[in-house]
Amino acid sequence: MKIKHFFTLAIIALAAVNGLAQGATSTTASAIDKYFSSYVEDKRFDVVYISPKLFQMIGKIDSKILDMEDDAEAKAILDMAKDLQGLRILTTDETPEVFYKEAKAKINTKEYEVLLTVRDKDGDNVEFLIKETNNVIQELLLLSGGKEEFVLLSFMGNLDLNKITRLAKEIEKK
């Protein structure tokens, strides 16, 4: 046995440590799922879920039925909705700041990347987080917490930031 064998063993051992660490991390990978599952049946929270099937149906129905008062905005919304695989919403007006901090602590920062953080004069906090795979946004999280309300939005599916910007511009025009 030579020194080089020792180094080979050391590298294997370190790789094993890394693998174990990553395995342990993967147990926290579904942090948002865990968060939803913690509060989905909590009476303090309002929960809404839009399934892929509903998104498909939204894309097919007549725009007149939907009372789309603003065509450009509706088009932008429908354009984004067709790429979505699901939307989960969790809101509460009870101790919103506590739930905001709790949700932030819960999110796995290795899994999600902060896109935008806003803190306004009233002390309301908003954070946009994205989960990317091969440079494609797979999930967009919006965390909002202030004195009045806590909101957690989870958009799942292929998301295009350009489409979000387009919609933001349409709303800004109003």
Partner 1 sequence: MKQQQIQSLLDKYFAGESSLQEEAQLRQLLQTEPISEEHLTYSEWFQLLDEEAELSLGDDFDAKVMASIEAYSKPKPVIRTLSTSWILRIAAVFALVATGLWWLVRSNPVEQPVVAEAEVKVIDWSKYEPKTVEEAYKVTRNAFRKVATEFNEGTAIATQGIDKMGEMGKLIK
Within residues 52-71, the interface with partner 1 by CB under 8 A covers: 54-55, 57-58, 61, 65-67
* Min CB(133)–partner 1 separation in Å: 20
If one counts every other C-beta atom within 10 angstroms of the C-beta of residue 139, the result is: 21
Cβ distance to partner 1 smaller for residue 101 or 132 = 101
Report the C-alpha gap between 85 and 140 in whole angstroms. 12
Using CB under 8 A, which of 100, 137, 139, 144 touches partner 1?
144
Residue 50 interacts with partner 1 (CB under 8 A): yes or no: yes
The residues in 74-93 that bind partner 1, with binding defined as CB under 8 A, are 74, 76-77, 80-81, 87-89
Residue 114 interacts with partner 1 (CB under 8 A): yes or no: no
Residue 170 interacts with partner 1 (CB under 8 A): yes or no: yes
Q: What angle do CA 120, 172, 129 make, to 5 degrees?
A: 50
Residue 158 interacts with partner 1 (CB under 8 A): yes or no: no
Cβ distance to partner 1 smaller for residue 136 or 168 = 168
If one counts every other C-beta atom within 10 angstroms of the C-beta of residue 143, the result is: 21
- Sign, CA torsion 142/143/149/153: positive
Residue 130 interacts with partner 1 (CB under 8 A): yes or no: no
> What DSSP string describes 36-50?
HHHHTT-TT-EEEEE
- Tokens linked to 171: 């709303």
Residue 40 interacts with partner 1 (CB under 8 A): yes or no: yes
